[in-house]
Amino acid sequence: STVTADDARASDTARASDTARLFERIFGAEPTGVWAAPGRVNLIGEHTDYNDGFVMPLALPHTTTVAAAPREDGVLALYSADLPGPVAVLPLEDLTPGAVPGWTGYPAGVLWALRDAGHEVGGASLCVASTVPTGAGLSSSAALEVASAMALCELYGAVPDGQRLARIAQRAENAFVGVPCGIMDQMASACCTAGHVLHLDTRDMAVRQVPFDMAAEGLRLLVVDTRVKHDLADGGYAERRAGCEAGAEALGVPSLRSVPRDGLEDALARLTDPGVRALVRHVVTENERVARVVGLLEAGRARDIGPVLTEGHTSLRDDFGVSCPELDLVVGTAVAAGALGARMTGGGFGGSAIVLAEADAVGELGERVVAASAAAGHPQPRVFEAVPSTGARRVL
């Protein structure tokens, strides 16, 4: 059940040429280029990005690859190597928010967002292939959006930086697909660099690449995809977000970012709704956990971040209410079996957890987590290693 990062990494270029060949077969001509953008896990800083707070994701070696060429007939044509179906043919004038269903809504939303932002982007053919697990909380949507955005921009001579790409991708998801996500996943996919975690201040969008060379320290980071996604994921996310906004309003601040850690007790005393109070406590303490993790990493003390990660999980479980039995079992089992730390990662209600461990312990930890899940009657999790990888790039 434990696969190494090499399985997923298996040569960027080889995968890009496969996608280019498929493009040729489907569209009868060579693509202009091939672009790739990764999925992510978040090390710490959860449900903080829509509160102007701090996040710290790293890119996975798993990517979505997009082979693309411009078209002159006013159409966006989309083909997926992973999902059965004919080429989706979408006239540009039909691209309106909410009108394009399924996976095609993401690239269509990107094209719409680019045009809406005044970029002169026309029709295109896109052939998409991905190794990012879907529905696993690993940002397969952001990978698809960012790879499509980069492809469409470069086809039409625009050269936006990573942050602009991420904003276009987020707008596609918020306004076109209709998911009220923050900016973390798109920034991770667009701006991460190999060997680093991306420290992002979502208020002023300042970015710091923090070295995270686990192999050199004898550490490994496992991703455990529980393969469950609970129904309340979408509604639950929007509800938490609204609760945070209600908290900020009750406290008279522009966002929960403005509540400092040492002002937390005062703030909590001023809130009457216990649900809102718990949300506020999570966000404020989570921002402080990000600060602790950056400090430890910069001091060369990567091992010591473990307990901070586990603390973050407890806060997401008890205060923010976005964990679930499958994630709790993975985290609890890993920590009891000697992991340095573990937590759910991403939005929650299913999806994936991360486990930080000594290199020589990961094999057994993976097995214990799988065995515990089986004993509890949960689906068999998929376990693999997260190696901090490169953000969006042109491959061919």
Could you tell me which residues are annotated as the binding site for Mg(2+)? 141, 173
Instruction: Output DSSP code: residue 327.
Output: H
For the question of residue 185 being annotated catalytic, the response is yes
Q: Token pair for residue 330?
A: 């993975």
Indicate the burial class of 251 (C-beta count within 10 angstroms; 0-12, 13-18, 19 or more): buried
Q: Which two tokens stand for residue 209?
A: 């690449």
Q: Does 182 bind ligand GAF (CB under 6 A)?
A: yes
Length reported for the chain:
396
Residue 206 or 238 having the CB closest to ligand GAF:
238
Q: What are the tokens at 7?
A: 């399985």
Q: How far is the CB of 234 from ligand GAF (least distance, A)?
A: 11
Which of 378, 382, 355, 319 shows the shortest CA–CA distance to 48?
A: 319
Q: Which of residues 36-55 bind ligand GAF (CB under 6 A)?
A: 46-47, 49-50
Q: Are 255 and 52 in contact, with CB atoms under 8 Å apart?
A: yes
Annotated binding-site residue numbers for ATP:
80, 135-141
Q: Tell whether residue 225 is a contact of ligand GAF (CB under 6 A).
A: no
Which of the residues 12, 52, 185, 225 is marked catalytic?
Answer: 185
- Assess 177 for contact with ligand GAF (CB under 6 A): no
For ligand GAF, which residue of 78, 126, 184, 335 counts as binding (CB under 6 A)? Answer: 184
Q: How far is the CB of 179 from ligand GAF (least distance, A)?
A: 7
CB of 126 vs ligand GAF, minimal distance in Å? 22
User: Interface with ligand GAF by CB under 6 A: which range of 121-129, 177-185, 268-276, 373-381?
Assistant: 177-185
Would you list which residues are annotated within the binding site for substrate? 46-49, 237
Nearer Cβ to ligand GAF (136/222): 136
User: 3-state secondary structure string, 339-382?
Assistant: CCEEEEECCCCEEEEEEEEEHHHHHHHHHHHHHHHHHCCCCCCE
N-term to C-term CA, the chain: 32
192 class by beta-carbon count within 10 Å (0-12 exposed, 13-18 middle, 19+ buried): buried
Nearer to ligand GAF, 89 or 238 (CB): 238
Cite the annotated binding site by residue number: 46-49, 80, 135-141, 173, 237
* Interaction between residue 106 and ligand GAF (CB under 6 A): no
Region near ligand GAF per CB under 6 A, out of 74-82, 158-166, 179-187, 384-392? 179-187
What are phi and psi for residue 46, nearest 5 degrees?
-110, 135
Instruction: List the one residue out of 292, 241, 282 whose CA is nearest residue 43.
Output: 292
Closest CA to 79 of 66, 93, 60: 66
Number of residues that bind ligand GAF (CB under 6 A): 10
7-15, 123-131, 180-188, 329-337 -> range binding ligand GAF (CB under 6 A)? 180-188
Minimum CB–partner distance for residue 235 and ligand GAF (Å): 14
CB 243 within 8 Å of CB 279: yes
With CB under 6 A as the contact rule, the residue among 181, 198, 370, 386 that binds ligand GAF is 181
Q: Are 369 and 342 in contact (CB under 8 A)?
A: no
Which positions from 248 through 287 interact with ligand GAF, judged by CB under 6 A? none
Q: Minimal distance in Å, beta carbon 30 to ligand GAF?
A: 35
Asked if 347 interacts with ligand GAF (CB under 6 A), we say: yes
Burial status of residue 13 (CB atoms within 10 A of its CB: 0-12, 13-18, 19 or more): exposed
Q: How far is the CB of 384 from ligand GAF (least distance, A)?
A: 19
Q: Point out which residues bind ligand GAF (CB under 6 A).
A: 46-47, 49-50, 181-182, 184-185, 346-347
Residues designated catalytic:
185
